[in-house]
Amino acid sequence: MRRKNSGVIDDKALLHTTTGQTKGAGLEGVVVARSTITSIDGQQGVLRYRGIDIKELVKKSNYEEVAYLLWRGKLPTKLELASFKRELAKYRTLPEDVLDLLKMTPRAANPMEVTRTTVSFESALPNKKGESFEDANMRKAFQLLAGIGSMVATYHRVRNGRRPVKPDSRLGHAGNFLYLLTSKKPDDYSEWAYDKVCILYGDHEMNASTFALRVTCSTLADIGGAVTSAIAALAGPLHGGANQMAMEMMEKIGSVRNVESFLDGELAAGNKIMGFGHRVYRTDDPRALILKDIARKFAEKDAETRKWLEIAEKTEAVMWEKRKIKPNIEFYAGVVLKALGVPNDVMPAIFACNRIAGWVAHYFEQYADNRIIRPVSEYVGPVEQPYVPINERS
């Protein structure tokens, strides 16, 4: 891969308008890159990967094909997809050093933080002899896409005193994760449903973790370091983790009869209702709509899922009535992941397991047309202050 010297970010334009006024907090509305990966129409509720509507990809594609699309910019041929899957299969089994690390990790550790640390550790393993930086990054990209799910599932098993499970070559990406997590081969619908979860989490333009990744990449750090930055950002409660918190909120509500009184209390106290609202979407989050449909199919055959879905749909109705706020991907993701047997505290790591497809795409896009990202800040503190000796300070 060749890098161009021209940048995509103008340091001054990054934070200021043409009138010199500082942009809003959190860089809201600031364009920090030109990208061909993902587009969002927040007014219409449309999400596209490489120009293809997410609804069409969920209906017709699978996660491996979508990952190829995000990385290569086009849909693969049969031969290209088969080769891509073979490369992933090579890296689904974790290196012994990584397994040893997971076995030594405290059982009370947070799965997302364990994932961050394990990714960082794996990226520190020596490159192959004679391997170029670019070739090592591509190899690590496949290791990450195939291996993060294995890390999450393996840690969950060892922290509960269970032996890790070896990947099954007959299963695809989604099926293998569920198998590695539970040691049971998933039924067809569960494997299909998790594959759709993977696609929906695949990318989402320039959110906090993706920006962190691109900033790190812009220093010419390797892909493992950049993904470690992304997971560290994702671990913050304002970014990742809402699927777990939304599910725990539903468990606290306990019954559809309690929804309105619970929400009244939370809203009166000024508390945020997890899984609602989005910085970009001003209408339905298309990912949430798809996940709600998947949850409904689980609810047809599972009483527990039916209970959580009823609470979720009632919560959605009350939140719209009282605040005109719609759910985002994390709200119904919690219900679907619960139906798939994913423990609550593992749910946030599912985000990282599948956003890796988009992160890799953004890393290589940034690397190919790179300039170090170095914005400016507007100083608003005191000026021309004298130095006061310590014995004269009050």
Provide the pLDDT for residue 24: 63
Q: Report the chain's C-alpha Rg in angstroms.
A: 22
CA atoms lying within 13 Å on the CB side of residue 272: 12
Cα separation, 360 vs 223, whole angstroms: 8
Provide the pLDDT for residue 26: 79
What does DSSP say about strands 46-49 and 38-41: parallel, antiparallel, or unpaired? antiparallel
Strand residues in the chain grouped as ranges (E): 38-41, 46-49, 52-53
Q: Which of 159, 166, 220 is nearest to 373 (CA)?
A: 220
Q: Note whether 220 and 364 are within 8 A (CB).
A: no
Q: Residue 137: which H helix or E strand, with range?
A: helix 133-159
Cα separation, 23 vs 13, whole angstroms: 10
Cα separation, 202 vs 70, whole angstroms: 9
15: buried, middle or exposed (CB in 10 Å: 19+, 13-18, 0-12)?
middle
CA atoms lying within 13 Å on the CB side of residue 5: 0
Q: Which of 62, 8, 74 is nearest to 35 (CA)?
A: 8
**How much is the pTM?**
0.92
Give all domains of the chain, ordered by start, each with its CATH number.
59-238+344-368 (1.10.580.10)
**34 three-state secondary structure:** coil
Cα separation, 247 vs 47, whole angstroms: 25
Helix 111-123 vs helix 223-234: crossing angle, to nearest 10? 170
Would you write out the chain's pLDDT as a tens digit for each of its 394 residues? 444 433 333 334 334 333 344 456 778 888 999 999 999 999 999 999 999 999 999 999 999 999 999 999 999 999 999 999 999 999 999 999 999 999 999 999 999 999 999 999 999 999 988 999 999 999 999 999 999 999 999 999 999 999 999 999 999 999 999 999 999 999 999 999 999 999 999 999 999 999 999 999 999 999 999 999 999 999 998 888 999 999 999 999 999 999 999 999 999 999 999 999 998 999 999 999 999 999 999 999 999 999 999 999 999 999 999 999 999 999 999 999 999 999 999 999 999 999 999 999 999 999 999 999 999 999 999 999 999 999 999 9
6: Cβ–Cβ under 8 A, 6 or more apart, which residues?
369, 371
